[in-house]
Structure 1
């Protein structure tokens, strides 16, 4: 419930910032600064929220790993891509050394990228501008050892044994504007442990940098199979989209954003209004909030699925609830996709364009 209530106000804030960015007019420097600041801080707030939720999921045993054979290089590349804005903002140099032969893990790709993204983000955060970050991986004896090393502020010997404890805060975080809640490394330790691995921290003391080392079991390369035929992208511009949300700011901001991208958008504030709108004009896509007053989004989806003229309509759940049981309930109600608020506009557009995007949770 807390996640739902905190995610809801983030959605219109992120939509409004994106709409300002997409506006054709050149922004005055101070307005541009304000837009960038709101975007940075809203993303930071969303990250803190996700960290808190992960702690809750881990402590209550509600995290389910979706393990598949994946190549280590692809995991590290995804983590680097996610951390690169923070690394570039502080003008750090980044080097990565990997084994010549591909190394495969039996792991959850999203969670593994989260582990190394978190370690890279910490390295960038606690290294003075213009620092060095190194990623090194070596495999042997059925395991792979990956280290993330920086030449930053380091950790004192007294604090080193406690860095993976929940809500642990080092003295080095006191002068950092984004020191965090002291839960990121606790999440890293838990996720690595769930994959049968271990994580360790080394530092020669304050001012002497830090090295985080992750050890994971390796697996055999997946068997080769015939590649799937490419899927031709859909011509998505001109799609008729209905946005259903009782939060008017959320509905209107998303509608404006999609209209600026070239879609035809209508809005509805509750279930009956959505059903009436769909009767008048069958939309191609319905973005449907779950927590609607009176008739919730699940019931609206079930009724929409019974309308013959909506047989080709794509139903997308937009909600603050994102646990496995929430996704399963969406699927049972007839939704085709499940997005957790605040929805990244690029993820929606990629979906509309027929492109695969890891930010979605496909149910079909």
Structure 2
């Protein structure tokens, strides 16, 4: 009896030691990740600040154009980092919802290549894309699935020496399609293949820092692929041998084509001349948004709190309101409700434009009466498309 008890105690002690070791390792990796996150978020701020100073100091059009290009590129980098963080968080908490539809694999790949192309071209890589001769139909969220392949392509571009080769190929087999992204880059150590898709997992911190990134892209890829009912694996013969990522997805049978609701002129640009009320308590954000909209030919007024928004909507009678949600005196939710209660308020299109992007935030703005919920910062192309549909 004593021996049995001793064996049980020993077994429990060994298991506790194993769990404690695993927790310490996870905690160490988390601390490293947070340190790298701070590093990666600070990095773009230096060229953005330098670009602003250059714009103040020089009237040279060439210098101004270069500074603006640098600032735009670095801002895009920050937005991608934050979006990836939010996406991984939503997946881990089962809060992400896919907007599934019948999509063609070629459209997914084209969107992914368009996103990754600047990184590929900047490194002077060659890209070869090979798809099946017949359309491959998927039940998928086109945007999210394109994000999977753009992450893989960007990853290959990042970890392949300049002038390398990247190939994306797809092959259908039965009810599945296998999409392989292959490169001749730095490769992956065998020991890392089993953990490369884990959150907070990175192969080589010095490589990650030199190339930029948080090491969460592959965790995001794995989560999105599995949400689509697929799998993703990685293969590499070791350092210096390149790597191959294989995504396997279920396919749908094609159906007879139907008439497209679009047509010639369906992508019209008729956004000129809108009356827009910009509401934001951040004055810099509101004034720069108003400046951009005026340059696009719109008539714009600005309000910096909810009460001013209601008064401005009544006097200005805008076609569209870009409404911040967190504001003093009266928040955006209550301001929207008050506008909707007015006889003239029903026809106005109110867009929640906020830094809060969780599903609960979207539900709250919809309940308040907003027609759409957009997360800051909104790309210019998306804003123009929105205004064209009013």
TM-score, normalising length: structure 1: 0.86
Instruction: Give the 3 Å change call, closer, same or farther, for CA 312–234 of structure 1 in structure 2.
Output: farther
Are 2:165 and 1:139 aligned?
no
Q: Which residue does 1:350 correspond to in 2?
A: 385
Largest Rg, 1 or 2: 2
Q: Which residue does 1:170 correspond to in 2?
A: 203
Which has the higher relative contact order, 1 or 2, with Cα contacts under 8 A spaced 6 or more apart? 1
Superposed counterparts of 1:20-169, under 5 Å: 27-169=60-202
Are 2:329 and 1:298 aligned?
no
Q: Which residue does 1:237 correspond to in 2?
A: 272
Q: Which residue does 1:279 correspond to in 2?
A: 314
Distance 2:374 2:208 in 1: 36
Structure 1 residue 308, shift from structure 2 partner: 2.0
Contact persistence 2:269–2:385 (CA under 8 A)? no
Q: Which residue does 2:376 correspond to in 1?
A: 341
Structure 1 residue 136, shift from structure 2 partner: 0.5
Are 2:301 and 1:266 aligned?
yes
Distance 1:124 1:197 in 2: 24
Contact persistence 2:339–2:345 (CA under 8 A)? yes
CA RMSD of aligned residues (A): 2.6
Distance 1:348 1:238 in 2: 14
Secondary structure of residue in 1 paired with 2:220: helix
Instruction: Give the 3 Å change call, closer, same or farther, for CA 320–226 of structure 1 in structure 2.
Output: same
Structure 1 residue 207, shift from structure 2 partner: 1.5
Q: Which residue does 1:359 correspond to in 2?
A: none
Contact persistence 2:104–2:138 (CA under 8 A)? yes
Distance 1:63 1:330 in 2: 18
Instruction: Give the 3 Å change call, closer, same or farther, for CA 346–145 of structure 1 in structure 2.
Output: same
Contact persistence 2:324–2:332 (CA under 8 A)? yes
Distance 2:337 2:99 in 1: 28
Structure 2 residue aligned with 1:180, among 213, 237, 258? Answer: 213
Distance 1:217 1:337 in 2: 32
Residue deviations 1:245-292, cap 9 Å, x none? Answer: 001111011111111111111100001111111222211111100111
Gap regions ≥5 residues in structure 2: 1-40
Residue deviations 1:66-89, cap 9 Å, x none? Answer: 222211111111111111111111
Structure 1 residue 299, shift from structure 2 partner: 1.2
Contact persistence 1:189–1:199 (CA under 8 A)? yes
Distance 1:308 1:178 in 2: 56
Structure 1 residue 240, shift from structure 2 partner: 1.4
Distance 1:295 1:249 in 2: 19
Secondary structure of residue in 2 paired with 1:216: strand
Q: Which residue does 1:247 correspond to in 2?
A: 282
Contact persistence 1:160–1:201 (CA under 8 A)? yes
Instruction: Give the 3 Å change call, closer, same or farther, for CA 176–132 of structure 1 in structure 2.
Output: farther
Distance 1:313 1:150 in 2: 51
Q: How many equivalent residue pairs?
A: 339
Q: Which residue does 2:27 correspond to in 1?
A: none
Q: Which residue does 1:314 correspond to in 2?
A: 349
Distance 1:228 1:99 in 2: 27
Secondary structure of residue in 2 paired with 1:208: coil
Instruction: Give the 3 Å change call, closer, same or farther, for CA 200–229 of structure 1 in structure 2.
Output: closer
Gap regions ≥5 residues in structure 1: 1-6, 356-364
Contact persistence 1:232–1:354 (CA under 8 A)? no
Residue deviations 1:150-205, cap 9 Å, x none? Answer: 11111122222221111111127526533311111011111111211111111122
